[in-house]
Amino acid sequence: MSYYLAERITVNPEQCGGRPCIRGMRIRVIDVLELLAAGLSPSQVLDELPDLEMADVLAVLKFAVSRVDHPILVAA
């Protein structure tokens, strides 16, 4: 995880079951991703979750990309 993501995306085993959250708040990365997947724009997400900043929404997207961008090895 890059330094920028480490500032925005936090993981605390004592909070939200250790799931990635935004800046130590109880807003999980998956909560933001689900809102975006439901069709909300980043601006609408900020309206729904007023404690967030646009940089948080962008960090969530970068975090998601970093989680799915890995090679999958196939056994022959």
Domain boundaries, the chain: 3-68
**SS3 call for 40:** coil
**CATH number for the segment(s) 3-68:** 1.10.10.10
Percentage of residues in the chain with pLDDT exceeding 70?
96
Integer Cα distance of 54 and 42 in angstroms: 7
Whether residue 58 is predicted with pLDDT greater than 90 in this model: the reply is yes
6-16 residue pLDDT tens: 889 999 999 99
Whether residue 26 is predicted with pLDDT greater than 60 in this model: the reply is yes
- With cut-offs at 50, 70 and 90, classify the pLDDT of residue 49: very high
Please list the residues that pair with 9 across neighbouring strands: 22
pTM for the predicted model, two decimal places: 0.85
Polymer length of the chain: 76
